[in-house]
């Protein structure tokens, strides 16, 4: 009997976790594992399709930790009893909420993409925490991204930064990247920075950042959903990728750029240190800050890195002045990804672990009680959120009526 898994995730999505899910599944299939792909809508978290019957006894749930409760509340028909249930999370902060830990400990095993994540979660749980990095898939050279379409002069040195506007600007930190570029290349007509984002219309914070730089001639802001082919074409045609992030669970675009032998400048902190080092990239110094005034997008008081703008500027200046002598850095970057993060190498690691799990007694791994707790906690969380929403809505209605009444009273005086 061949080894098989039920892989639950956002297989049709056009964002980082969806691409990571597809890559992990491809690595498993490359290693001879049968993957039952069960896809869900990222908007509703409801099942959208299943390619094959989900009859395997190993479940993998590649769902962000912040929506896992809601996911199980909306999908209570998933068969967990008698299965070995794995959850795959990427996380960017040393702090983990009590609610997340309570939910995590119901599962049999946690998979994460980096040692950074391993070090975080092993402080909070006693279940196995296994690192399985995202495999990196290079595509054939492509002209899908066309310089002329975006008014980029042929022969320009192309610097890029890539982020989803919904991933919060405080974490992705595009402003620091833009400022460092301006410090070095403001008056350089031969160098251009492409700020590639999407979902800009759904993030006022990101809009405020990029609008400040919209009038600078050598900064091109692109707010579009690219296909994988077009995004990789952009990376292929670029010279340098910059990520002055506050934290990354892994850092997929940095690894993808390195796979094509590109120069990568990134904050020397978090998941990207699994593949970036002083020999194959440029790591920017940093200090630590705590999140504040997050407007509910993420929790308050979480730890992030604050990259040193002066150090980033110096590194970009060094790259500018020594561009022709960085071949060893580029070759080392490409070799690092090729040798350690290919579909084959990651697939083989997944096959070893899943073969071991396949020999275990699934009935002993997930008790009926813990399976019930998954849906119980998910439903409690959903109902609590609904109550909080109603309370807030009622409070706003009452406050509005009180304000109207006070205005009327004031008008009579």
pLDDT tens string for the chain (413 positions)? 589 999 999 999 988 899 999 999 999 999 999 999 999 999 999 998 776 666 799 999 999 898 888 999 899 889 898 899 999 999 999 999 998 998 899 899 999 999 999 999 999 999 999 999 999 999 999 999 999 999 999 999 999 999 998 888 999 999 999 999 999 999 899 999 999 999 999 889 899 999 999 889 999 999 999 999 999 999 999 999 999 999 999 999 999 999 999 999 999 999 999 999 999 999 999 999 999 877 767 889 999 999 999 999 999 999 999 999 999 999 999 999 999 999 999 999 999 999 999 998 765 554 444 655 666 566 555 655 565 655 556 556 566 666 665 565 556 55
Host domain of residue 305: 147-340
Q: What is the CATH number of the domain that holds 314?
A: 3.40.50.2000
Instruction: Report in angstroms the alpha-carbon separations of 33 from 26, 218, 234, 270, 348.
Output: 9, 47, 32, 30, 10
Same domain as 331, residue 280: yes
Q: Are residues 70 and 185 in the same domain?
A: no
* Domain match, 237 and 335 both: yes
**Residue 335 and residue 351 in one domain:** no
In a domain, residue 406? The reply is: no
111's tokens: 């998979």
361 found inside a domain:
yes
| pLDDT of amino acid 370 | 61
Same domain, 207 and 335: yes
Q: Answer whether residue 179 is part of any domain.
A: yes
Q: What DSSP line would sit under 116-149, residue for residue? A: HHHHHHTTT-SS-EEE-PPP---------S-GGG
Q: How many CB atoms lie within 10 A of CB 43?
A: 8
254 and 217 part of one domain: yes
Whether residues 172 and 87 fall in one domain: no
Distance in angstroms (rounded) separating the CA atoms of residues 147 and 274: 32
380 within some domain: yes
Q: Helix or strand or coil: residue 298?
A: coil
Query: 0.85 cut: is pTM over it?
Result: yes
Which pLDDT belongs to residue 367?
44
| Domain tally, the chain | 2
In this prediction, residue 387 carries a pLDDT of 55
Give the integer Cα–Cα distance in Å for 45 and 22: 17
Please tell me the predicted confidence (pLDDT) of residue 369.
Answer: 46
User: 11, exposed or middle or buried, with CB in 10 Å at 0-12, 13-18, 19+?
Assistant: buried
Give strand ranges (E) for 26-134: 34-40, 47-50, 58-61, 84-88, 109-112, 129-131
Q: Secondary structure of 258-274 in the HEC alphabet?
A: HHCCCEEEEECCCHHHH
């Amino acid at each position: 009997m061949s080894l098989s898994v039920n892989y639950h995730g956002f297989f049709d999505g056009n964002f980082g976790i969806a691409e990571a899910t597809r890559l992990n599944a491809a690595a498993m299939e490359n290693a001879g594992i049968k993957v039952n792909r069960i896809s869900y809508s990222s908007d509703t978290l409801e099942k959208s399709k299943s390619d094959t019957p989900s009859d395997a006894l190993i479940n993998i749930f590649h769902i962000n930790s912040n929506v896992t409760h809601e996911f199980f509340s909306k999908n209570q028909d998933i068969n967990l009893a008698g299965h070995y249930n794995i959850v795959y999370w990427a996380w960017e902060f040393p702090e983990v909420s009590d609610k997340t830990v309570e939910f995590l400990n119901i599962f049999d095993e946690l998979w994460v993409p980096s040692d950074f994540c391993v070090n975080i979660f092993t402080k909070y749980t006693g279940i196995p925490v296994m690192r399985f990095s995202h495999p990196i898939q290079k595509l054939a050279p492509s002209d899908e991204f066309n310089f002329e379409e975006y008014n980029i002069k042929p022969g320009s040195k192309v610097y890029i930064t890539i982020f989803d506007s919904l991933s919060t600007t405080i974490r992705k930190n595009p402003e620091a990247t833009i400022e460092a570029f301006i410090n070095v290349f403001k008056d350089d007509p031969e160098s251009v920075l492409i700020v590639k984002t999407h979902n800009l219309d759904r993030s006022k914070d990101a809009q405020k950042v990029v609008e400040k730089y919209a009038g600078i001639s050598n900064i091109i802001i692109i707010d579009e959903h690219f296909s994988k082919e077009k995004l990789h074409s952009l990376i292929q045609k670029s010279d340098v990728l910059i990520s002055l992030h506050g934290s990354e669970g892994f850092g997929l675009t940095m690894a993808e750029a390195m796979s094509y032998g590109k120069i990568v400048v990134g904050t020397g902190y978090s998941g990207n240190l699994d593949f970036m080092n002083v020999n194959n990239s440029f790591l920017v110094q940093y200090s630590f800050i705590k999140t504040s005034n997050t407007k509910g997008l993420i929790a308050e008081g979480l730890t992030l890195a604050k990259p040193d703008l002066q150090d980033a500027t110096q590194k970009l200046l060094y790259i500018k002045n020594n561009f022709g002598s960085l071949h060893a850095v580029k070759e080392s970057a490409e070799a690092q990804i090729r040798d350690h993060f290919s579909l084959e190498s990651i697939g083989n690691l997944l096959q070893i672990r899943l073969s071991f799990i396949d020999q275990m007694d699934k009935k002993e791994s997930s008790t009926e009680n813990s399976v019930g707790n998954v849906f119980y906690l998910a439903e409690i969380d959903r109902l609590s959120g609904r109550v909080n929403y109603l309370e807030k809505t009622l409070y706003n209605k009452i406050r509005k009526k009180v304000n109207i009444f006070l205005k009327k009273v004031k008008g009579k005086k």
